[in-house]
Amino acid sequence: MRLYLVLTAILIGACSTEPQPPLVATDLVITRPMPGTGMSAGYLSLTNNTEQKISITRVASAQFASVQLHESTLENGVARMRAIPELEIRAGETVTLQRGGKHLMLMRPTGPADIVSLQFFDDENLVLSIEAGFETQLN
């Protein structure tokens, strides 16, 4: 009986230390392509489960020839956005990309698509691969 309890404790311990994925995406929204340009915006939260910072330096999509990391700012009451070279997610932290802040800009669609796939790279390392359908209109 005692041996049985010890084994159970070991098994429970093994399960709870199961490795989590290094980077997890939640609340992903890809806006419908804007008429004319075909541009979409991407919003999501990224959680870093590792002990080291993750820097997203490149995002790729099969459905868009160009995906940029953007940041919206308000300058003299005028909303502007600029490309940012990387997105840093510190160890154990969550970064949220949302309207009016940091976001993904999906440009130059490669063709009609119902699903958008996104690959996130830290330098040459693929750290996350996700996909989603189009949701709300870009505004």
Q: Which residues bind Cu ion (CB under 5 A)?
A: 70, 81, 105
- Dig out the tokens for 106 from the structure: 């999906």
Report how far residue 128's alpha carbon sits from residue 72's, in angstroms, rounded to the nearest whole number: 24
Kindly write down the DSSP assignment for every residue of 29-48, as one continuous string.
EEEEPPTTT--EEEEEEEEE
- Provide the minimum distance between the beta carbon of 84 and Cu ion in the complex, in angstroms, as a whole number: 10
Comparison of 55 and 102: residue with beta carbon closer to Cu ion: 102
- Provide the minimum distance between the beta carbon of 42 and Cu ion in the complex, in angstroms, as a whole number: 9
Closest residue to Cu ion, Cβ-based? 70
Asked whether the beta carbons of 38 and 92 are under 8 A apart, the reply is: no
N-to-C CA span, the chain: 64
- Provide the minimum distance between the beta carbon of 110 and Cu ion in the complex, in angstroms, as a whole number: 19
Report how far residue 24's alpha carbon sits from residue 103's, in angstroms, rounded to the nearest whole number: 16
Comparison of 37 and 49: residue with beta carbon closer to Cu ion: 37
- Provide the minimum distance between the beta carbon of 103 and Cu ion in the complex, in angstroms, as a whole number: 6
Report how far residue 26's alpha carbon sits from residue 45's, in angstroms, rounded to the nearest whole number: 5
Comparison of 24 and 138: residue with beta carbon closer to Cu ion: 138
Comparison of 105 and 128: residue with beta carbon closer to Cu ion: 105
